Structure 1
Amino acid sequence: MFFKEFEIRWSDIDANRHLANSAYINFMSHTRMAYLGLLGFNQNSMAAHNIGPVVFYEHVYYFKEAFPGKPVKVSLEFVGMSENGMFFEFRHNFFDHNGKNFARCEMMGAWIDLKERKLIGLPDEFLKAFESTEKSNDFKILTKADTRKHVQVPKDLELA
């Protein structure tokens, strides 16, 4: 499991004086990019392949409040990927300075071709990087159907 530690800053606090929901999203994004960086995904390598990550959803479950003054850790577990690498799924947990879990997030995303603006599978070098990474106990091969599991489509809208 991968971990990233954060200090809760003044700008991370909301009107209730606890960690703001937007800060949770930012901490998770930073954790994902640090993890991907270790696999060779960075601004230069993604630009060379003209790809970028997109988020389909981030479902955050809050268990307890978090306040400034003590560091927090955010974990990342690799819980799913499609065979071609187009779709990916991560799970994050938030831990206080005592190691108590105070929030969890399930997130799913994909890779987009930044010129064509279409979803794309990963180049072989990136697929190989993911092959060697630690996977969660509940890791699964994702399909397009998995990307729709939380979507309630209005009757007047068809998804392609």
Structure 2
Amino acid sequence: MFIKEFEIRWNDLDANKHLANSAYTSYMSHTRMAFLNELGFGLNVLEDKQLGPVVFYEHMYYFREILPGATVRVSLELMGLSKDGMFFEFHHNFYDPQGKHLAHCELMGGWIDLNNRKLTTLDTELLQFFDRAEKAESFRFLSREDTRKNAKFPKDLA
């Protein structure tokens, strides 16, 4: 499990004076990029390959308030990856310094080719980065259907 630590700053707070939803998202994004960077799959590789990560959904569960001045640890677990690398699933957990569980997020996304603006697979070189990554105990290989399993699609308005 990969862990990144953050100190809650005043500009991370919302009107209720606790950690804002946008700050949770920012901390998770920073944790994911730190994880990828540690694997050797950093911004330089993304730029060279003209790849960008896209988030399909983030489902948050909030258990306890996180208040100003607190320190939180944000974990990342690699829960799933498609065999071609196009899709990924990460789970994040937020903990206080004593290990109390504060929040949980399930996230699914994919890789976009920045030139043609379409989802793309990862080449063998990039897949090897994920081969080296620690995987969750319940890791699974993802299919395209997994990326939309809970979605309800209304009809177009036009």
Instruction: Give the TM-score category using the shorter length.
Output: over 0.9
Structure 1 gap ranges (5+)? none
The alignment-based identity, stated in percent, is 58
Query: What corresponds to 2:53 in structure 1?
Result: 53
Q: Quick one: distance in 1 between partners of 2:52 and 2:118?
A: 11
1:70 positional shift = 2.3
Q: Quick one: distance in 1 between partners of 2:41 and 2:134?
A: 16
1:42 positional shift = 1.8
The total of aligned residue pairs comes to: 156
Higher strand share: 2
Partner secondary structure for residue 47 of structure 1: helix
- Alignment TM-score, normalising by the size of structure 1: 0.95
Partner secondary structure for residue 130 of structure 1: helix
Q: Quick one: distance in 2 between partners of 1:113 and 1:63?
A: 36
Query: What corresponds to 1:44 in structure 2?
Result: 44
Q: Quick one: distance in 2 between partners of 1:13 and 1:139?
A: 34
Query: What corresponds to 2:73 in structure 1?
Result: 73
Write out per-residue CA displacement over residues 59-111 of structure 1, whole angstroms, 9 at most, x where no aligned residue: 00000101012210000000000000000000000001221001000000000
1:125 positional shift = 1.3
- Alignment TM-score, normalising by the size of structure 2: 0.96
Structure 2 gap ranges (5+)? none
Answering whether residue 27 of structure 2 is matched by residue 27 of structure 1, we say yes
Q: Quick one: distance in 1 between partners of 2:44 and 2:128?
A: 18
Any conservation in 2 of the 1:40–1:126 contact (CA below 8 Å)? Answer: no
Q: Quick one: distance in 2 between partners of 1:95 and 1:126?
A: 31
1:129 positional shift = 1.1
Q: Quick one: distance in 2 between partners of 1:40 and 1:52?
A: 15
Query: What corresponds to 1:116 in structure 2?
Result: 116
Q: Quick one: distance in 1 between partners of 2:33 and 2:145?
A: 26
Q: Which runs of 4+ in 1 moved over 6 A?
A: none
Answering whether residue 142 of structure 2 is matched by residue 142 of structure 1, we say yes
**Greater mean alpha carbon deviation, residues 125-134 or residues 79-88:** 125-134
RMSD of Structure 2 on Structure 1 (CA): 0.9
1:139 positional shift = 0.6
Q: Quick one: distance in 1 between partners of 2:141 and 2:43?
A: 27
